């Protein structure tokens, strides 16, 4: 190996460590017995790893319920986003029509509205529709705010597939739907996977709308429930981070899974 | 963008003219119901007088705005927001230029390093902020422990109770969680630069620095613009970091307009005035994005 490569690799691995450090600390804290967490100054490593923190956290709070809420909200909003984004992205990629540009612009502008910026309006709307404290409200909001990204990324992938490929399948007697399911979808699978994972994670991590709209404990997703392990009345940092890891690890794995598509997805979706 | 394909016939039947509506309909309904409605509702609310229990007491005219602009906290909060957005986005973009380059270089273990950099992007920002809050804990935090052991500090510092330090650390967290996205957009931009451009520069005898300034940076322009704009919007709206670490406190000492807006609505229970703050907020983002576009266009 050349000296330069060694230097670059060394630097890069240091950077990787720096990015992982907070999450390593999260893991260590999750494994520390509670009495050790109140020591001052703090300890670097727990005297013993308390793995049972990870089992006790399930009874310390209705974590299973919150997990179920998060899965339902993230899953349903991903499905809803896809159901809306797929036809729109496909149609705008395949057809020129009046107002096509206007539609794509609308989608782009929508991306500028974050749930945080509109949270007061969203709250007022949900009150008016009598949807506060429902999962439906969270599903609708997450689906709508992730729609623009999905439309753009899928539009990019669909546009890149030559029409001839589809037409060949169509002429071979596959039919319109057959051409779509046997040619277009498989070729644009990376885009589809990226859109799905991205939406799922964004909905999974959504905080402010859930904080504002959800009231009952059994309708609160993980993001809203987890911080309540540490309040002015109680401090269970070990449970807080055990629960955090339970919520973080699956989505990080999902995200790592689409890493190779992220670069091309970002290029197709936005840089163009 | 490709040229439009030839139409099959000039006159199209009404059914096919309605076809776009069928395909775009679901998206349009969703956007109208969940993005446009709240936006309109928010503007409308900003002109209403609303009681703390949520009842509309009647029109307020410009009252909410007048009250907002005369409140003492507003100017410091606005200035802090500018510092927050400018500082975080500026530092993020500078670091991301380096990090994007690093992730694009060839070295053993590159894939694993990319995975590591992705983690704060995938992990909930709220939970990342919470681990930093714990590491900065006055009594048992890792940061105080390390700095005490290194002899940098003589006594533990209560980082998040001192507005200046709290702001510094929260901006650090904001940079930390913004870096992955910005770096990956720049990485995508770097990969889109054709190799032969660099070949040509090498043949012309251009040095490393000249090549970077004359070729890489200009060709990264679209990526840089996209990354900064999305960053400005995200950082402006980054509520969970401040909410998890200081709640904007002590007092309003670490509030940005976003947390301030939230406090007016749900702590002071004045939804009308909060909506006015939100409208001002949105105007600010719009102005910043437009200014930024203008500046980068002129720099061309």
What is the tens place of the pLDDT at every residue in B86-108? 999 999 999 999 999 999 999 99
Q: With an 8 Å Cβ cutoff, are B278 and A121 in contact?
A: yes
pLDDT for the residue B274: 93
pLDDT for the residue A272: 38
In chain B the first and final C-alpha atoms are separated, in Å, by 22
More confident call, B86 vs A260: B86
Q: In this structure, what DSSP letter does residue B5 have?
A: P
Q: Which stretches of chain B score pLDDT less than 50? A: 1-10
CA angle (A21 as vertex; A17, A26 as ends), nearest 5: 150
pLDDT for the residue B283: 87
pLDDT for the residue B296: 67
A15 contacts chain B (CB < 8 A): yes
The shortest C-alpha distance from B204 to chain A (Å) reads: 23
Contact B277, A123 (CB under 8 A): no
Question: Is the domain covering B75-298 a CATH 1.10.3720.10 domain?
Answer: yes
Q: Percent of chain A beyond pLDDT 70?
A: 96
Q: With an 8 Å Cβ cutoff, are B230 and A147 in contact?
A: no
Q: Where are the domains of chain B?
A: 75-298
Residue A83 pLDDT class (50, 70, 90 cuts): very high
* Letter string b/e over residues B208-225, b meaning 16 or more CB atoms within 10 A of that residue's CB: eeebeeebbeebbeebbb
pLDDT for the residue B159: 94
Q: Length of chain A in residues, anyone? A: 272
Question: Is the domain covering A61-271 a CATH 1.10.3720.10 domain?
Answer: yes
Contact B174, B235 (CB under 8 A): yes
Q: Tokens 């702001």 identify what position?
A: B167
Average pLDDT over residues A120-132: 92
Give whole-number Cα distances, B170 to A30, A59, A163, A177, B38, in Å: 22, 32, 49, 51, 29
**C-alpha–C-alpha distance, residues A124 and A129, integer Å:** 9
- Bond from prior residue into B250 cis (ω within 30 degrees of 0): yes
Q: With an 8 Å Cβ cutoff, are B184 and A248 in contact?
A: no
**C-alpha–C-alpha distance, residues B298 and B293, integer Å:** 9
pLDDT for the residue A161: 82
pLDDT for the residue B208: 83
What is the ipTM metric for this complex?
A: 0.90
Residue A265 pLDDT class (50, 70, 90 cuts): low
Q: Is the pLDDT of residue A209 over 90?
A: yes
pLDDT for the residue B249: 81
Q: In this structure, what DSSP letter does residue B46 have?
A: T
Q: With an 8 Å Cβ cutoff, are A9 and B108 in contact?
A: yes
Give whole-number Cα distances, A158 to A166, A183, A234, A246, B194, in Å: 11, 11, 52, 36, 24
pLDDT for the residue B6: 46
CB pairs A-B closer than 8 Å:
280
**C-alpha–C-alpha distance, residues A227 and B127, integer Å:** 8
Residue pLDDT, tens place only, A47-60? 889 999 999 999 88
Residue A271 pLDDT class (50, 70, 90 cuts): very low
Contact A13, B109 (CB under 8 A): yes
Contact A113, A121 (CB under 8 A): no
C-alpha radius of gyration, chain A, whole number: 23
pLDDT for the residue A266: 63
Q: Which of residues 138-177 of A touch B (CB under 8 A)?
A: 140-141, 143-145, 147, 151, 159, 163
pLDDT for the residue B12: 55
Q: With an 8 Å Cβ cutoff, are B131 and A25 in contact?
A: yes
pLDDT for the residue A125: 93
Give the rounded distance of the alpha carbon of A143 from its chain centre.
11
The two structure tokens encoding residue A37: 């967490």
Nearest 10 degrees: CA dihedral of B201, B203, B209, B213? -10
Q: Tokens 């449970």 identify what position?
A: A239
Contact A248, B123 (CB under 8 A): yes
Which chain A residue has its CA at the smallest distance from B122's CA?
A: A252
Q: For all residues of chain A together, what is the average pLDDT? A: 88
Q: In this structure, what DSSP letter does residue A42 have?
A: P
Give just the sign of the alpha carbon dihedral B224, B226, B229, B235. negative
The shortest C-alpha distance from B210 to chain A (Å) reads: 20
- Chain A positions touching B111 (Cβ under 8 A) are 259
Q: With an 8 Å Cβ cutoff, are A99 and B20 in contact?
A: yes
Average pLDDT over residues A237-255: 92
A127 contacts chain B (CB < 8 A): yes
């Amino acid at each position: 190996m050349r000296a330069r490569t060694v230097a670059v690799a060394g630097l890069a691995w240091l950077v990787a460590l720096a990015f992982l450090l907070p999450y390593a600390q999260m893991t260590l804290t999750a494994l520390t017995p509670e009495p050790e967490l109140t020591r001052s100054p703090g300890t670097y490593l727990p005297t013993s790893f308390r793995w049972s923190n990870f089992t006790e956290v399930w009874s310390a709070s209705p974590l299973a319920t919150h997990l179920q809420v998060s899965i339902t909200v993230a899953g349903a909003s991903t499905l809803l986003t896809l159901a809306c984004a797929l036809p729109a992205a496909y149609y705008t990629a395949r057809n020129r029509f009046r107002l096509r540009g206007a539609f794509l612009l609308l989608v782009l502008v929508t991306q500028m509205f974050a749930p945080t910026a509109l949270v007061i309006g969203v709250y007022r709307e949900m009150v008016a529709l009598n949807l506060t404290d429902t999962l439906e409200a969270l599903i609708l909001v997450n689906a709508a705010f992730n729609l623009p990204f999905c439309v753009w990324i899928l539009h990019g992938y669909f546009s890149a597939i030559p029409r001839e490929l589809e037409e060949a399948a169509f002429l071979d007697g596959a039919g319109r739907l057959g051409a779509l399911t046997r040619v277009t979808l498989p070729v644009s699978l990376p885009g589809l996977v990226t859109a799905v994972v991205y939406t799922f994670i964004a909905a999974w991590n959504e905080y402010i709308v859930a904080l504002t709209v959800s009231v009952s404990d059994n309708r609160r997703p993980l993001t809203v429930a987890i911080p309540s392990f540490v309040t002015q009345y109680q401090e269970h940092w070990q449970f807080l981070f055990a629960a955090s890891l339970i919520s973080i690890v699956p989505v990080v794995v999902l995200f790592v899974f689409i890493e190779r598509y992220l670069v091309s997805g970002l290029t197709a979706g936005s840089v163009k | 963008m490709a040229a439009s394909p030839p139409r099959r016939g000039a006159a199209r039947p009404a059914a096919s003219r309605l076809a776009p509506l069928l395909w775009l309909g679901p998206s349009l309904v969703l956007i109208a119901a969940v993005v446009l409605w709240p936006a309109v509702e928010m503007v409308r609310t900003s002109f209403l007088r609303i009681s703390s229990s949520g009842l509309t007491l009647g029109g307020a005219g410009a009252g909410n705005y007048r009250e907002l602009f005369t409140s003492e906290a507003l100017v410091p909060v606005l200035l802090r927001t500018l510092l927050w957005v400018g500082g975080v986005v500026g530092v993020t973009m500078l670091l991301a230029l380096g990090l994007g380059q690093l992730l694009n270089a060839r070295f053993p273990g590159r894939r694993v390093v990319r995975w590591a950099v992705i983690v704060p992007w995938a992990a909930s920002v709220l939970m990342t902020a919470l681990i930093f809050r714990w590491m900065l804990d006055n009594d048992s935090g890792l940061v105080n422990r390390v700095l005490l052991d290194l002899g940098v500090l003589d006594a533990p510092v209560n980082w998040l109770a001192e507005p200046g330090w709290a702001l510094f650390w929260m901006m650090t967290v904001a940079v930390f969680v913004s870096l992955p996205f910005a770096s990956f957009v720049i990485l995508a931009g770097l990969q889109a630069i054709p190799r032969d451009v660099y070949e040509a520069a090498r043949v012309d005898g251009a040095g490393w620095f000249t090549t970077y300034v004359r070729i890489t940076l200009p060709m990264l322009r679209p990526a840089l613009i996209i990354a900064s704009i999305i960053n400005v919007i995200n950082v402006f709206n980054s509520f969970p970091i401040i909410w998890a670490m200081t709640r904007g406190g002590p007092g309003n000492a670490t509030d940005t307009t976003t947390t301030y807006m939230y406090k007016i609505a749900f702590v002071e229970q004045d939804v009308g005035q909060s909506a006015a703050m939100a409208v001002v907020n949105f105007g600010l983002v719009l102005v910043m994005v437009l200014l930024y576009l203008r500046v980068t266009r002129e720099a061309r």
